[in-house]
Amino acid sequence: METKLHLTDREKAWFENPSGLPLLISRPLFDLIDPDDMNDPVRKQFVPDVRENDKSASLDPLAETEHSVSKRIIHRYEHRIAFLTTDRCFSYCRHCFRRRFTAKESGAVTEREIDEAASYLEAHEEVYEVLLTGGDMFTLSDRMIEYMLSTLRRKRKDLVLRLCTRANISFPQRFTPELMQIIEKANEEGPLYLMTHYNHPAELTPESLASVKAFTRLGIACFNQTVLLRGVNDNADTLEKLCVRLLASRIKPYYLFQCDLVEGTAHLRVPLAKGLEIEKELRKRLSGLAMPQYTIDLPEGGGKVILTEQHLISRDDETFTFTTPEGEIRHYPAN
């Protein structure tokens, strides 16, 4: 790697004193990096930098540990749970917000833990969506994925299952015909959604898009979550291109996340004021379908809130007062 990439001083310094999330870059991503471009968007997301060793922020700003009902189940919102199916990924994103868990000691889920999760869902009818996440669920074996999808489905016919993954980008070859047969069968038994994590148009390679198409052709809707990252996608031109191309590939831009206050990610964070400027510009350029929701997961487990320019400027018992996107005033009767 060192010979191909000509490491910068900051990258070299991390290698001399590696800490936090381990280094892992899959071959397809590594091949995407332009070795002569120190600001390559893939390089910035996957090659570690010594600034990660800054330990000033929290390891768990979303207080996920507090909201965990077991080692692998986070029940933060009443109607949906996150199931941490494994701590492994095909590549480790330097901005990973779950680094207290990712690539640590939990490993892959066992059949017993899947059975326990199924029992939890049986006992909690109020939960009607499960995020199969981690880590990356597609690092699990075909057999374990099949066991998980069928076991959860058997207990709860109504469950919406979100398959959360970055494998379409980091290892699109994972979606073999055998695996897609398992997915097809599971999707016949109940609704599956594919949740991808594209951050930059460079990641939309033909192989990657073909692996998404293997899902959408089965009638599985696909949604994308992007993380706003300094030096990667913190400008309206890049995000406009990304969202337009995602939508054309049948992937609905869902969230644009403000980078969480996680240890080791400060150098990748974009100031909120700049994020809001970008959101405003994107709203001018993108259709409603192509527009993601700029969202912050509030510290200390405050939960997700949507960030957007405020148009409601005042309200009383009679009138709500708005500014139009052009800055004019409009009134709307309260009743």
The DSSP annotation for 203-219 comes to G--HHHHHHHHHHHTTT
Which residues inside 111-140 make contact with ligand SF4, applying CB under 6 A? Answer: 134-136
Q: One symbol per residue from 290 to 329: x for binding ligand PLP (CB under 6 A), - otherwise; what is it? A: --------------x-------------------------
Q: Which of these, 57, 35, 44, lies nearest to 233 by C-alpha position?
A: 44
245 CA to centre of own chain: 18
Q: Interface with ligand SF4 includes 147 (CB under 6 A)?
A: no
Kindly state whether residue 93 participates in binding ligand SF4, applying the rule CB under 6 A.
yes
**Which letter, b or e, does each residue of 30-41 get, where b requires 16 or more Cβ atoms within 10 Å of its Cβ?**
bebbeeeebebb
Q: Which stretch binds ligand PLP (CB under 6 A): 29-37, 70-78, 153-161, 229-237?
A: 70-78
- For residues 186 and 212, give the distance between their C-alpha atoms in angstroms, rounded to a whole number: 17
Catalytic residue among 80, 153, 155, 241: 80
**Site mask, ligand SF4, residues 155-194, x = CB under 6 A?**
-----------x----------------------------
Contact 307, 258 (CB under 8 A): yes
| Tokens, residue 323 | 């500014």
Size of the site for ligand PLP (CB under 6 A): 7
From 40, 60, 93, 136, active-site residue: 93
Answer yes or no: 60 catalytic. Answer: no
Q: Is 255 a catalytic site residue?
A: no
260 assigned to active site = yes
Phi-psi region of 107 (alpha: psi -120 to 50; beta: other; left: phi over 0): left
User: For this structure, is 100 an active site residue?
Assistant: no
Nearest to 121 by CA among 161, 152, 84: 152
Binding site for ligand PLP (CB under 6 A): 74, 76-77, 80, 82, 131, 304
Catalytic positions, written as ranges: 76-77, 80, 89, 93, 96, 98, 260, 297, 304
Binding site for ligand SF4 (CB under 6 A): 89, 92-93, 96, 98, 102, 134-136, 166
